[in-house]
């Protein structure tokens, strides 16, 4: 009895479908590679670059109004900007980002306020306390209020911050802030001066 031999028929490849599959594989590979590169920390250089850009954008946002306040009241833009950068962590702190309070200004009486934790230097050590802070409608409004404090002083001493306005440069102004008791931090003046130097904030001073 003769045995029938069957020849397997070779299937023809569907060329367009194969090419489409290869294309999908290529796209997936490129995407995976891009993700790997994006997530890789090359010594933190990319993160640092983004952070520096973000900080410069913050400075550039505030600088024009700071210069307007200098023209009107004589307070140095470098001081306004230096304090804003330090007090608000370049606008990233909750008080600044959500409530537009750049300078940690406390609230009194019926002023719009929010109660948040803060750190103050008391009796030779840092302690965490709850405080009522002013709520503003904008960063510009916070800057205006900050400048009015320098110009008008406080109820018990209208001339409290006159030395800040009379200072010839930002170093004198920062030390005058410290002497007037603007902040409880004993190194406040040094921090403001360092901030101004690091980001060259005196470039905005006329």
Give the residue numbers marked as catalytic. Answer: 120, 145
- Rounded CA separation 156/149 (Å): 12
- Rounded CA separation 151/154 (Å): 9
SS3 state of residue 39: helix
- Whether 137 and 112 have beta carbons less than 8 Å apart is answered as no
- Whether 67 and 204 have beta carbons less than 8 Å apart is answered as yes
- Whether 180 and 164 have beta carbons less than 8 Å apart is answered as yes
Residues 179-199 as b/e (b if ≥16 CB within 10 A, e otherwise) read ebebbebeebbebbbebbeeb
């Amino acid at each position: 009895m003769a045995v029938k031999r069957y020849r397997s028929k070779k299937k023809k490849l569907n060329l367009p479908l194969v090419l489409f599959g290869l294309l999908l594989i290529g796209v997936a590979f490129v995407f995976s590679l891009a993700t790997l590169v994006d997530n890789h920390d090359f010594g933190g250089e990319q993160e640092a670059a983004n952070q520096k850009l973000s900080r410069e954008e913050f400075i550039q946002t505030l600088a024009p109004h700071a210069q307007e306040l200098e023209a009107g009241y004589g307070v140095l833009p470098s001081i306004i900007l230096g304090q804003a950068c330090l007090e608000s962590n370049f606008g990233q702190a909750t008080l600044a980002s959500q409530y537009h309070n750049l300078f940690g200004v406390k609230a009194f009486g019926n002023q719009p306020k929010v109660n948040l934790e803060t750190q103050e230097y008391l009796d030779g050590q840092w302690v965490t306390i709850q405080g009522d802070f002013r709520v503003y409608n904008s960063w510009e409004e916070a800057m205006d209020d900050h400048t009015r404090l320098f110009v008008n002083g406080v109820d018990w001493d209208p001339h409290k911050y006159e030395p800040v306005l009379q200072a010839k440069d930002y170093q004198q102004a920062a030390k005058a802030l410290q002497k007037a008791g603007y902040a409880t931090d004993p190194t406040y003046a040094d921090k403001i001066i360092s901030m101004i130097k690091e980001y060259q904030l005196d470039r905005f001073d006329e």
